[in-house]
Amino acid sequence: MTSAATPANAAIAAIAATPSASAAPASVDAVIAALAAEDYVADRRLATSVFLALTLKRPLFVEGEPGVGKTELAKALARALQALLLRVQCYEGLDVAQTAYEWNVARQMMEIRLAEAAHDVGDAASRERLAKSLYARSMLIERPLLQALTQAQSPVLLIDELDRADEPFDAFLLEVLAENQLTIPELGTVKAAPGAAPIVVITSNRTREIHDALKRRCLYHWVDYPDVERELEIVRIRAPGAPERLAVQVVAFVQRMRTLDLFKAPGIAETIDWSNALVALNALSLAPDNVRDTLGVLLKHRDDIAKLQGGDVTRLLAELQATARG
């Protein structure tokens, strides 16, 4: 019974076995093309960072305001490489049991009980045997970090919002990131097979500074808000229902909004949501009324909404129309 894999492990083995390994993109342009095929519009800087992460086999540390497409990057990358995506969503108090591995204590208990029932715990040798079987590999429940090291083909490991986890977790990650290995005290060291090391993408919203020791091992990329052309391209892809005129107006409006002194400027995710919301309301172009009614999609801070509701919307729209004409 000790050799039977748990259902979860079996499922993952199956997933890992099916897709044929697609070759890593050979140039920066190939990265842009591969991501574009997965509906992710990457600028050249970001694509260079991704290309380097793949070539130099270093983790990619992406930082930026919420809603600029950090998590989406990892997902698109996994699809583009036809790799398995393993995700660790961080939160405070995250520990080894939730991210790397956990001993299947219920099964261990059962093992002991069975050994007792068979009167097999009497002498030292049988006791040793029992202890060994309790800490065999099959007793281990694999969580994403360990799974990332046991695949046949390089998976994409997404460590999302690392800033939400506490510092001890950063330290714990060091071994996995630097050596592609994980030490389990009772069992030994698990190391990724050569050529199957995980492609690691770490995201952070910068609610705290991540320790330098961890950043040092990564490639750093700050994801900025996109420029007008790129954002328009993104809206066209992600909100296909929006008429061209509306899309242009939405992007111009959001871009102008980011220059205001707001608590939280709208991200790309908000632009997409807003476009879709306006489409759902059958809006063909921006008007003071429909902008005011849907501001909640774009701005998530009471003070920001109050600021814009008070007459700013009309002024901004007039300003945009003037620039569109001129």
Partner 1 sequence: MLADNVVHFARVLRHAGVPVGPDRVLAALEAIEAVGLARRDDVHAALSAVMIDRHEQQALFDDAFAAFWRDPKLLERMMAELLPKISGRGERANKPRSHRLADALAPAALPEAARAPQRPDEALDFETSFAFSDREKLQRADFESMTAAEFELAKKLAEEVPLPFAPARRRRHAASERGTIDLRATMLAMARQPETLVPRFSRPRTELPTIVVLLDVSGSMDRYARLMLHYVHGLTRRYLKVHTLTFGTRLTNITRALRHRDPDLALELASAQVPDWKGGTRIASCLDDFNRHWAKRLLGANAALLLVTDGLDRDEQGELTRAAQQLRLFARQIVWLNPLLRFDRFEPRAGGVRALLPCVDRFLPVHNLASLADLATALQSTPAPRR
List residues binding partner 1 (CB under 8 A).
28, 44-45, 48-49, 51-52, 55-56, 58, 61, 63, 91-93, 95, 97, 102-103, 105, 108-109, 112, 121, 127, 130-131, 134-135, 163-164, 166, 168, 186, 206-209, 212, 215-216, 218-222, 261, 263, 303
CA distances 232 to 180, 238, 239, 241, 247, Å, are: 39, 10, 10, 13, 7
From the list 202, 290, 276, 285, the residue with the least C-alpha distance to 245 is 285
Q: DSSP letter string over 29-49?
A: HHHHHHHHHTT----HHHHHH
Q: With respect to partner 1, which residue has the nearer C-beta, 240 or 263?
A: 263
Q: With respect to partner 1, which residue has the nearer C-beta, 60 or 279?
A: 60
Q: With respect to partner 1, which residue has the nearer C-beta, 48 or 89?
A: 48
> Least distance from C-beta 220 to partner 1, angstroms?
5
Amino acid in position 169: F
Amino acid in position 112: I
Angle at 21 (CA atoms; ends 18, 87), nearest 5 degrees: 75
Rounded to whole angstroms, the Cα distance separating 57 from 52 reads: 8
Q: With respect to partner 1, which residue has the nearer C-beta, 24 or 287?
A: 24
Residue 177 · residue 104 · CB < 8 Å = no
> Least distance from C-beta 180 to partner 1, angstroms?
17
Q: What 3-state class would DSSP assign to 65?
A: coil
> Least distance from C-beta 87 to partner 1, angstroms?
20
> Least distance from C-beta 121 to partner 1, angstroms?
6
> Least distance from C-beta 248 to partner 1, angstroms?
27
> Least distance from C-beta 181 to partner 1, angstroms?
19
Beta strands in the chain (DSSP E): 60-64, 85-89, 101-103, 140-142, 156-160, 181-184, 188-191, 199-204, 219-223
> Least distance from C-beta 285 to partner 1, angstroms?
32
Q: With respect to partner 1, which residue has the nearer C-beta, 87 or 208?
A: 208
Torsion of CA 201, 190, 175, 69, to 10 degrees: 10
Rounded to whole angstroms, the Cα distance separating 22 from 245 reads: 39
> Least distance from C-beta 245 to partner 1, angstroms?
32
Q: With respect to partner 1, which residue has the nearer C-beta, 49 or 150?
A: 49
> Least distance from C-beta 70 to partner 1, angstroms?
13
Q: With respect to partner 1, which residue has the nearer C-beta, 39 or 303?
A: 303
Instruction: Give CA 178 to chain center in angstroms.
Output: 19
Q: With respect to partner 1, which residue has the nearer C-beta, 236 or 300?
A: 300
Angle at 16 (CA atoms; ends 15, 19), nearest 5 degrees: 85
Q: With respect to partner 1, which residue has the nearer C-beta, 216 or 315?
A: 216
Tokens of 23: 């070759």
Instruction: Give CA 272 to chain center in angstroms.
Output: 19
What residues form DSSP beta bridges with 188?
184
